[in-house]
Structure 1
Amino acid sequence: MQPDFWNDKRAPGVPNDIDLSSYKSVIEVFERSCKRFADRPAFSNLGVTLSYAELDRLSAAFAAYLQKQTDLKPGDRIAVQMPNVLQYPVAVFGAMRAGLIVVNTNPLYTAREMRHQFKDAGVRALVYLNMFGKLVQEVLPDTEIEYLIEAKMGDLLPAAKGWLVNTVVDKLKKMVPAYHLPQATALKQVLREGRSLAHKPVPLALDDIAVLQYTGGTTGLAKGAMLT
């Protein structure tokens, strides 16, 4: 594909080139966007919209919890196993703001695939939706994971709607197989505690690893690609 292929296909006002020297890291891009577009919608799901300001506040609380309530250090790996829900960007940007490397875990993974990825990436923490709890319980003894943060579908919804969604998912649709992970900390508790803590900005550069993105594994074991 020729370099100028997209020149006449971009929306008006979108530049042809990006000055990478304008930003020190992907987190600086994120934080500047949160300030510049504070009142604008960032993500919507299940009838609820998070503004950039709300995403900034929630991800900072998540980052502060990781920094102050765990011994995770910049460069450690944290896996995030969720579908497209509002909790995902909160966890991902929060983890990055704490200097951690995000390992995206496919919600459709089998126990074998989860076990391989967690061990291969050296994952120390896992954020997961409770409907994957049974699989997490199965693979946990074979990994080095020390911290579990458990989310539910309704966590970031208004209280009544969140309760209703969680009840439907668990009791009516039977999408949450029985499991036992008493060591897991609820995402709502993480955010509640994190709000009272100060997030300490972590110096990051453009060549720091942001994400270990695993391949589909169609030609063998999935491999982690380092994305800066």
Structure 2
Amino acid sequence: MTPGPLLVFDFDGVLVDGMAEYWWAARKAALRLRPDLTLPEQAPVAFARLRPLIHKGWEMVLVAAELSRSSSALTAPGAGYDQALAPALAHWGWSPETLQTTLEEVRRQAIAADRSHWLALHRPYPGVPQRLRALAAEAADWAVLTTKGGAFARELLAAQDLVPLYTFGHEDGSKPEVLLRLRTLQRPLWFIEDRRPTLEAVRATAGLEAVRCFLVSWGYLGPHDLIGLPEGLAVLEPAAFAAPLATWP
């Protein structure tokens, strides 16, 4: 008998809208490293615009700091984001490790000091918790694969009474690496993500050709992310997500 699929979900932008927390935590971390910065309490429009390009947590802190600089190439509209990361790090004299460690310390302290406030900065997308709970009736399991720290993802899932089969954070390796390890389960893998470059990287990874890849329409998408999708990537709309797995595109 063929085992049911394992649905592997990205977290931020797929299960949870955490934009308010991203800015809050990134701002706090940037100010911890550079108390002289002037950063607004509310997320600037430019931060939301850049969110689809941000791949790892440390980048959020860097972007927050760069938004204080009028000459930043990283935050300028139309700039080459990936190419501007290294010069921006050099400008501040920071390393990705320093930024990631500071961000996670900010989050750990926030949970210890006022867990309910920190949790309230995250909003599950409508209908998502209910749909995840319903997967068991379709002989499917689900997992979370995120570039957020695994401990923080588990904290947020527990607040919604959600218990995935696995939770993988940035400390567990890249998303293609984790998916390659999951192949040993010898069951169909479905990967649900809101970042098109990540899905394209999965499709280009030898050994992951059989993984079904879905780009959700409700996440942190760039203006052209849904246009001209390559073969092997399917758009997942909310109505399709709520429908039985057998009808997914």
- Which structure has more strand as a fraction of its residues? 1
Q: Which has the higher contact order (CA 8 A, sep 6+)?
A: 2
TM-score, normalisation: structure 2: 0.32
- Which structure has more helix as a fraction of its residues? 2
TM-score, normalisation: structure 1: 0.34
